[in-house]
Amino acid sequence: MATWPQLPLSDWTDTQTTLHRWTQIVGKTRLALAPMQNHWWHCALYLTARGLGTSPMTYAKGSVELEFDFLDHRLVGRTSGGATKSIPLAPRSVADFYRDYLDLLTALGVAAKIWPVPQEMVDTTRFTDDRDHASYDPDAAQRCWRILALTDRVLQRFRGPFLGKSSPSHFWWGGFDLACTRFSGRPAPRHPGGIPHLADYVTREAYSHECISAGWWPGSVGGPVAEPAFYAYAYPEPAGCPEATVRPAATRYLLAMREWILPYEAVRAAPDPEGALLDFLQSTYEAAADRAGWDRARLERA
């Protein structure tokens, strides 16, 4: 059985805030090159056998893919023409990483218009000017990737029995979280927006239809969840979710976020971590779907 590694946020706060910006830089390249898909699915990154990648994207000379390799600790670019270029993942400022990254794209012949400003963050220092975030702990980065890989495996199992529209297991570089989202098929009320440093039209496209989403997040220093955790929520949220009985017992409903939260440590310490996580995903889905009146007989395999 795979071991779920420890990763207290305090172990790698500086690395996480730096790596978050690096993933946004690469994610914005996917935003620039990939054709639009519903709910911004074309922007996300995906788990690979070595880290996080874009999957192939079309450019003038064919296709290109970019991968954070957390085994050799390099950012690697590969093209369908056989070219390969890389830059090291090592302690360096966001500004230096951004400069070298643009040089890598140029060397591969890739032209991509990137808005050099972080999103969904309080600190919006432009990538070109950011010399404060410059940490990289390779061990912590690799542990994070291994957690994401184990979570991705469970999310894929969870997705299997659902016959309705469902996203793949996506790494969202805006929030630095891995999630899978199920849809009822019905349009949703207009989202109110208001997410810091994220345009409202982005949020309204993301939540254009009723959905139930679940995933993993490393937590946020000073926020309501300051340690890694699994989460689940519904949009629009039906009445009764805060009072619903869900599993495992360590799960709580956090009113400040309107989400169910299961501490990562509770899953890691469970005799069967995958089973505990599946229990969380299934029970929160059932609680939200039943209260929202989803047609579960049509949406799920018998």
My answer on whether 161 and 234 are in the same domain is yes
Q: Specify the number of domains making up the chain.
A: 2
Under the banding of pLDDT at 50, 70 and 90, the label for residue 2 is confident
In the chain, where does DSSP find H-type helix? 9-33, 94-108, 138-159, 200-206, 264-268, 273-292, 296-299
pTM of the model: 0.97
My answer on whether 57 and 167 are in the same domain is no
Q: What is the dihedral of CA 162, 191, 221, 274, to 10 degrees?
A: -10
User: Does a structural domain hold residue 40?
Assistant: yes
Residue 257 in contact with residue 220, Cβ under 8 Å?
A: no
What is the percentage of the chain residues whose pLDDT exceeds 70? 100
pLDDT over 70 (residue 37):
yes
User: Does a structural domain hold residue 146?
Assistant: yes
Last residue of a domain, one of 66, 94, 129: 129
Residue 247, pLDDT score: 98
Q: Cα angle vertex 251, ends 250, 256, to 5°? A: 130
Under the banding of pLDDT at 50, 70 and 90, the label for residue 196 is confident
User: Does a structural domain hold residue 134?
Assistant: no
Taking only the tens place, the pLDDT of each residue in 90-124 is 999 999 999 999 999 999 999 999 999 999 999 99
Mean pLDDT of 15-20: 98
Q: Cα angle vertex 175, ends 293, 29, to 5°? A: 115
On average, the pLDDT of the chain sits at: 97
Q: HSE, CB side, 13 Å, CA atoms: give it for residue 158.
A: 31
User: Does a structural domain hold residue 53?
Assistant: yes
DSSP 288: H
My answer on whether 74 and 163 are in the same domain is no
Q: What is the rounded CA–CA span in Å between residue 142 and residue 196?
A: 29
pLDDT over 80 (residue 1):
no
Q: What is the rounded CA–CA span in Å between residue 101 and residue 122?
A: 24
My answer on whether 56 and 188 are in the same domain is no
Look at strands 177-187 and 209-217 and give their pairing.
Answer: antiparallel
Last residue of a domain, one of 129, 154, 183: 129
Under the banding of pLDDT at 50, 70 and 90, the label for residue 302 is confident
The answer, yes or no, to whether the previous bond of 248 is cis (omega within 30 of 0) is yes
pLDDT over 90 (residue 38):
yes
Mean pLDDT of 143-153: 98
User: Does a structural domain hold residue 34?
Assistant: yes
Q: What is the rounded CA–CA span in Å between residue 255 and residue 275?
A: 26
φ/ψ of 179, rounded to 5, equals -150, 155
User: Does a structural domain hold residue 93?
Assistant: yes
What is the percentage of the chain residues whose pLDDT exceeds 90? 97
Range of the domain at 26: 9-129
Instruction: Count the helix, strand and coil residues of the chain and give each as a percent rounded to the nearest 5.
Output: 35, 25, 40
User: Does a structural domain hold residue 59?
Assistant: yes
My answer on whether 86 and 187 are in the same domain is no
Under the banding of pLDDT at 50, 70 and 90, the label for residue 68 is very high
